[in-house]
Every structure is written in structure tokens, then in C-alpha cells.
Structure 1
Amino acid sequence: MSFRSSLTFDRTGSARGEIVNHSHGSYRFDLVLSNCVRHRVGCIIADTDQRIVATGYNGVPDNIKACNQGGCTRCCDMSIERICIHAEESSLFEAGHCLCRNATLYVTHNPCRQCSKKIIQNGIKRVV
């Protein structure tokens, strides 16, 4: 099978794209938007055949009130340590180490130093 991906990211952190499977047609997707009030970041991990193996967006961990509902106090007060998970971290958690090996990571913003270390450790081959 032959796959091709076309991904675009807008200023709000919304990732939109298309995966084209030449034998089965075109599939479009829209990532869920982050609820962070400061930065909206989206991330996609695609394998070597350009199939999406994981997606992620920044926000608070599961079972914690959303940023836009007061769950992340750092969004309002920069002196407080963040509790949010970055989009890159979220997608790496979803994919797991095996699916990340030699994959490409597409992200709306430049990864921070901590995320960069995790990307390298998980075997991501390319960041776009």
C-alpha cells in the first residue's frame, strides 16, 4: 500500500491533515483542540509508512479539571509549576516505545528541552 500525508497546523494549535491511501481513497481528520488558555499545541506521530500511530495535545492529566476551568493554576500564575502534559509527551505515551522507533513527529510548536529528550529516547527519527 502507498500512503501520503499532508498535515497543516493553524495558529490555534488545531492540526488538520489528510492521509491518502492510494488503494482506499482519502481519509481526513481533525485533532481535538487543547483546552489550555496559554498555548494550544497539537502533535502527531506517523510511522515510516506515514500511517498515524498516535496523536496528542497539551492539557492537564486525566481526571483533573481542564485548564480553561481552572485546573492548571500556572495558566493564570506564571510562578506556579505546571501540571499540564505537553502534546509531544501525550503522543509518546499513546504510541509507546515500539511504535515510535524511526517514526516522524509532527508538532505545531518547537519541542521544549524536556520533550526533546523524550523524543530522542523513544527513537523518533524526524521532527517536523
Structure 2
Amino acid sequence: MWIRPRAAGASGRPCDRPARCISRAPTLSTSTPPRPDKQHYFLLIALAARTRADCLGRRVGAVITREGRVLSTGYNGTPFGMPNCSEGGCHRCSRRDDDRLRGGAYDVCICVHAEQNAILTAARFGQQIMGASLTSTTQPCFGCSKEMLQAGVAEVRYLHPWDPAEAYGDPALVAQYAALRARFSVFEQVGDPAMDTPDLFGLFLSGN
């Protein structure tokens, strides 16, 4: 049974003249959404991974790639078997208003960072990441940077930057963080943070 193309204010109904119905069918657009380059493609994957994060503070997603292929992804959250942040599993998340926890003591935070999760996932499934690239939605922290370096990650790219001087304060720590960054062949921002909107994927697919 053929269905007449639906016009404004009209409902579709059986059509007894198929040729006429086809001739009146709306013309489909042949335009295609913009095709991202590889770096923005990986960034979109990291942003998609971030949607799985349950942190009540900052959600982060990361992807590890080599030779243009995805090896693993990760997002920040509590370890396997532990309650999620939204379930009270993270002491820091449950005490967001405690000034004593702001900007420090990340070494005793129960959550695993997105970059760490991506590295550990690759190891768990036997993926070699020596010489690989990591793309994160946020500039990796001091701890993740040294772990990426030790794991053999060669290139690091991220969307959202932050100021090490503001985060660490101590000039010696800022200098050490800079030294860590210098050991990577690439450690740079990619993309425009302004692209990170609640309707990111909808805007991208629509070509706006």
C-alpha cells in the first residue's frame, strides 16, 4: 500500500495513484555533515566517553589511539565494585563544600582518572600502548602525566586547559609538571573549548 506524502496540516492516507504520490514526495537533502579530521574525531570519542563519568565535580573522558586506530577509552569514576560518586562512593564528591579538600589531596581520592582508566583498560585487554597517543577532554594532571609517560604514551592532546600555577601554587611543582610535559613529543591543546556544549553532538551532526 502506498502512502501519500504528508502535507502540512494533512494526515497520510492510502494512495491509489503511486506514480503521482512518488512525484510529490519531498526531495531529500544530499548534503552531508562535516567530516572531522582525525584529531577532532578522537576528541569526539573522548567527549562521548565522558558521558559515562559519574563524578559530581568534573567529568572527563579519554581515548588512546595508535596509527589512527582506537585502542581503549576511559572516564573518571570509582573502581570496579565500589559505589559510584552519586551513590556516596567518593569522599571528595560527598563533601564538595569542604574547603580543606579543594585543589589538593587527589592522591587519596578513590576515583580513577579518565587517563588512568584508559591506560589500565588497554593493559587489561593486552593492548600495547607504547608510542600511542592519548586525547582527553581536559588537560591531564600531574599524576596522570607521569603515568602516561611511564606507560609509553608519546603524544597527548586535550580540549580544556587549566593553569598549573593556579592549581599547584608551588613553583617547584609547576616546574616539575612542565618538565613532565616536555618529555612527550606532543602535549598540546586541540579544538576549541567553546565547541563543548550540552548539544555538542546535535550541533555537529547538523553542520552548525
Same fold (TM over 0.5): yes
Task: Name the structure, 1 or 2, with higher relative contact order (CA <8 Å, separation 6+).
Answer: 1
Which of 128, 136, 148 is matched with 1:107 structurally?
Answer: 136
Partners of 2:156 and 2:43 in 1: CA distance: 14
Cα deviations across residues 54-73 of structure 1 (Å, max 9, x unaligned)? 10000000000000111102
Partners of 2:114 and 2:127 in 1: CA distance: 19
Count of residue pairs brought into register by the alignment: 107
Q: Does 1:91 align with 2:136?
A: no
Report the Cα offset of residue 124 of structure 1: 0.6
In the alignment, residue 63 of structure 2 is paired with which amino acid? I
Report the Cα offset of residue 98 of structure 1: 5.8
Where does residue 39 of structure 1 map in the other structure? 58
In the alignment, residue 121 of structure 1 is paired with which amino acid? Q
Q: Map of 1:1-128 to 2, 5 A cutoff? A: 5=38, 6-9=41-44, 15-16=46-47, 30-31=48-49, 32-47=51-66, 49-77=67-95, 78=98, 79=101, 81-96=108-123, 99-128=128-157
Report the Cα offset of residue 8 of structure 1: 3.4
Partners of 1:68 and 1:75 in 2: CA distance: 8
Q: Alignment RMSD, CA only? A: 2.1
Larger Rg: 2
Consecutive unaligned residues in structure 2, runs of 5 or more: 1-36, 158-208
> Percent identity over the alignment?
34
Q: TM-score, normalising length from structure 2?
A: 0.47
Task: Write out the 4+ residue segments of structure 1 that deviate beyond 6 Å after TM superposition.
Answer: none
**Which structure features the higher share of strand residues?**
1
